[in-house]
């Protein structure tokens, strides 16, 4: 249980908040590349961490990421003309390039040097894995770009989606790092789990955040073996869940290969979130379920959008299906998570919780992030700023006396 003050500290990510300052020290997934396909195309309004920006692809194909308001009189650059490597404001014609240089002021005298003395806020961007990443923090603290495994994969083997969530980012994070809920919320969709629905949880801090094991008794030979499922939390809002192998999804029983999944919950502001899913099949082409991941939310075209199911329509929960045996009445693993996260309201009051034995990861996550925000204010570096190319996770049955930390493929950092 958090105090009301701690809950706000965890949830508020605006520019002057402790958590907001922490978030700005990381490279953030901001857009999918498909949102900015056209060179010199329409600029895109972007809201992240409670601030408004504009993104555009310039004449050379470079992605620019600027404060939305023109440095002249504050007109929105989302309405600007995108031409000749810059955005030209439709109000008075001032033009800003991707580096934030004001390259033209047609309303000023020809002899004026005014534009040379101005710099519009602009932010570094990278494109990797069909995702546009941005760094919003102090330039002198720009970290190494994260070398995630899936960003280097062949395009046919990877995919990404970006889904709007009508709640605070932390509610999304806490859902995805909670192993116990899958035995209930997802029980109509996931196969192969033991009948032991009260996992014992153990967690350890790491350089990138923490990792934890949910340990269950297997359905057979429980005196000799244990079932271990590992989840990784990577600061500030990533989760790595065990890969999906053939037969694990009831809706996609012939899924081939080994689909590694990384999720991110990027704050739009304190009450809205972008939920990113990055999937990579290590052994071949990405299966249809993951290529069309956004369709699970009712999004018919592309991989970005707002779910058809939402809080306003009670996520189209089907009570007849529940009576027929479906546990939640909501179809799809991720829509089920969305239902619970949004159903709590914009920011859940954690001071009213009663945490139990299976909430070890939730407690660890909150403590880790609150400590990191406090440490940053005291001048210490945040966790997870290195390159963690070797992060992996898994679920498997192992001999009962095997420490889960000693299984070598369970999320060890190799770089």
Q: What is the pLDDT of residues 290-321, one digit of tens each?
A: 999 999 999 999 999 999 999 999 999 999 99
- Over range 242-251, report the average pLDDT: 69
Q: What per-residue confidence (pLDDT) applies to 389?
A: 74
- Over range 87-115, report the average pLDDT: 97
In the predicted model, is pLDDT for residue 250 greater than 70? no
Q: What residues have CB less than 8 Å from 401, skipping those under 6 apart?
A: none
Tell me how far the alpha carbon of residue 293 is from its chain's centroid.
15
- Residue-wise pLDDT tens digits, 31-81: 999 999 999 999 999 999 999 999 999 999 999 999 999 999 999 999 999
* pLDDT band with cut points at 50, 70 and 90 for residue 8: very high
Give the Cα separation of 389 and 224 in Å (integer). 34
Q: Let me know if 267 is exposed, middle or buried by CB neighbors in 10 A (0-12, 13-18, 19+).
A: buried
Q: What per-residue confidence (pLDDT) applies to 51?
A: 98
Q: What per-residue confidence (pLDDT) applies to 251?
A: 54
Q: What per-residue confidence (pLDDT) applies to 386?
A: 80
Give the Cα separation of 161 and 303 in Å (integer). 5
Q: What per-residue confidence (pLDDT) applies to 189?
A: 87
Q: What per-residue confidence (pLDDT) applies to 254?
A: 53
Check if the beta carbon of residue 163 is closer than 8 Å to that of residue 335: no
Lowest mean pLDDT among 160-164, 247-251, 409-413: 409-413
Query: How many CB atoms within 10 Å of residue 20?
Result: 19
* Residue 45: HSE in the Cβ half-sphere, 13 Å Cα cutoff: 11
Give the Cα separation of 290 and 318 in Å (integer). 24
In the predicted model, is pLDDT for residue 415 greater than 80? no
Check if the beta carbon of residue 122 is closer than 8 Å to that of residue 62: no
Most confidently predicted of 59-63, 219-223, 392-396: 59-63
Q: What per-residue confidence (pLDDT) applies to 91?
A: 98
- Over range 349-370, report the average pLDDT: 97
Bridge partners, residue 31, by sequence: 132
* pLDDT band with cut points at 50, 70 and 90 for residue 99: very high
Question: For residue 2, what are its two tokens?
Answer: 């958090």
- How far CA 264 is from CA of 88, 237, 371, in Å, comes to 33, 6, 20
Place of tokens 């939310």: 297
- Pairing between β-strand 209-216 and β-strand 131-135 as defined by DSSP bridges: unpaired
Question: For residue 44, what are its two tokens?
Answer: 């895109």
Higher pLDDT, 289 or 317: 317
Q: What superfamily would CATH give domain 149-406?
A: Naphthalene 1,2-dioxygenase Alpha Subunit; Chain A, domain 1 (3.90.380.10)
Q: Quick one: which of 32, 72, 24 has its CA closest to 51? A: 24
In the predicted model, is pLDDT for residue 174 greater than 80? yes
Q: What per-residue confidence (pLDDT) applies to 62?
A: 98
What does the radius of gyration of the chain's CA atoms come to, in whole angstroms? 23
Q: Model's pTM, two decimal places?
A: 0.94
Q: Let me know if 194 is exposed, middle or buried by CB neighbors in 10 A (0-12, 13-18, 19+).
A: middle
CATH architecture under which domain 27-140 falls: 3-layer Sandwich (2.102)
Bridge partners, residue 265, by sequence: 275
Give the Cα separation of 96 and 77 in Å (integer). 9
* pLDDT band with cut points at 50, 70 and 90 for residue 411: very low
Q: What per-residue confidence (pLDDT) applies to 379?
A: 97
Q: What per-residue confidence (pLDDT) applies to 412?
A: 43
Q: What per-residue confidence (pLDDT) applies to 139?
A: 97
Check if the beta carbon of residue 279 is closer than 8 Å to that of residue 316: no
What DSSP state is assigned to residue 202?
Answer: E
* pLDDT band with cut points at 50, 70 and 90 for residue 388: confident
Indicate the SS3 state at residue 164. strand
Q: What per-residue confidence (pLDDT) applies to 407?
A: 61
In the predicted model, is pLDDT for residue 265 greater than 80? yes
Higher pLDDT, 396 or 76: 76
- Over range 166-193, report the average pLDDT: 92
* pLDDT band with cut points at 50, 70 and 90 for residue 387: confident
* pLDDT band with cut points at 50, 70 and 90 for residue 396: confident
Domain boundaries, the chain: 27-140, 149-406
Q: What per-residue confidence (pLDDT) applies to 252?
A: 52
Query: Is the C-alpha dihedral spanning 125, 64, 140, 237 positive or negative?
Result: negative
* pLDDT band with cut points at 50, 70 and 90 for residue 7: very high
- How far CA 122 is from CA of 54, 86, 97, 130, 181, in Å, comes to 10, 12, 9, 21, 42
């Amino acid at each position: 249980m958090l105090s009301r003050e701690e809950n706000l500290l965890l949830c508020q990510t605006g520019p002057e908040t402790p958590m907001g300052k922490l978030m700005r020290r990381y490279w953030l997934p901001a857009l999918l590349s498909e949102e900015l396909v056209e060179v010199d195309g329409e600029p895109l309004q972007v809201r992240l961490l409670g601030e408004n920006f504009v993104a555009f692809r310039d004449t050379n194909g470079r992605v620019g990421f600027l404060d939305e308001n023109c440095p002249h009189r504050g007109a929105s650059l989302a309405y600007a003309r995108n031409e000749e490597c810059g955005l030209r404001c439709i109000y008075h014609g001032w033009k800003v390039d991707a580096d934030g240089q004001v390259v033209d002021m047609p309303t000023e005298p020809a002899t004026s040097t005014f534009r040379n003395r101005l710099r519009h806020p602009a932010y570094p961007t990278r494109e990797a894995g069909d995702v546009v990443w941005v760094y919003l923090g102090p330039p002198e603290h720009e970290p190494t770009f994260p070398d995630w495994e899936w960003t280097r994969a062949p395009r046919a083997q990877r995919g990404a989606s970006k889904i709007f969530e009508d709640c605070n980012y932390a509610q999304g994070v806490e859902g995805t790092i909670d192993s116990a809920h899958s035995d209930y919320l997802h029980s109509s969709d996931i196969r192969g789990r033991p009948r032991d629905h009260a996992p014992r949880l153990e967690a350890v801090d790491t350089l990138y955040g923490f990792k934890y094991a949910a340990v269950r008794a297997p359905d057979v030979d429980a005196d000799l073996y244990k079932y271990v499922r590992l989840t990784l939390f990577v600061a500030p809002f990533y989760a790595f869940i065990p890969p999906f192998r053939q037969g694990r999804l009831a809706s996609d029983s012939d899924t081939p290969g080994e689909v590694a999944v990384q999720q991110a919950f990027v704050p739009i502001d304190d009450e809205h979130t972008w939920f990113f899913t990055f999937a990579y099949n290590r052994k071949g082409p990405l299966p249809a379920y993951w290529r069309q991941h956004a369709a699970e939310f009712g999004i018919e075209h592309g991989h970005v959008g707002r779910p058809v199911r939402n809080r306003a329509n009670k996520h189209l929960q089907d009570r007849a299906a529940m009576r027929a045996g479906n546990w939640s009445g909501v179809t799809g693993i991720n829509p089920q998570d969305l239902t619970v996260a949004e159903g709590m309201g914009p920011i859940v009051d954690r001071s009213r919780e009663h945490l139990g034995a299976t909430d070890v990861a939730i407690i660890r996550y909150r403590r880790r992030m609150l400590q990191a925000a406090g440490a940053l204010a005291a001048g210490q570096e945040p966790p997870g700023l290195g390159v963690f190319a070797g992060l992996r996770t898994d679920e498997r049955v192992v001999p009962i006396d095997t420490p889960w930390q000693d299984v070598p493929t369970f999320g060890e950092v190799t770089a």
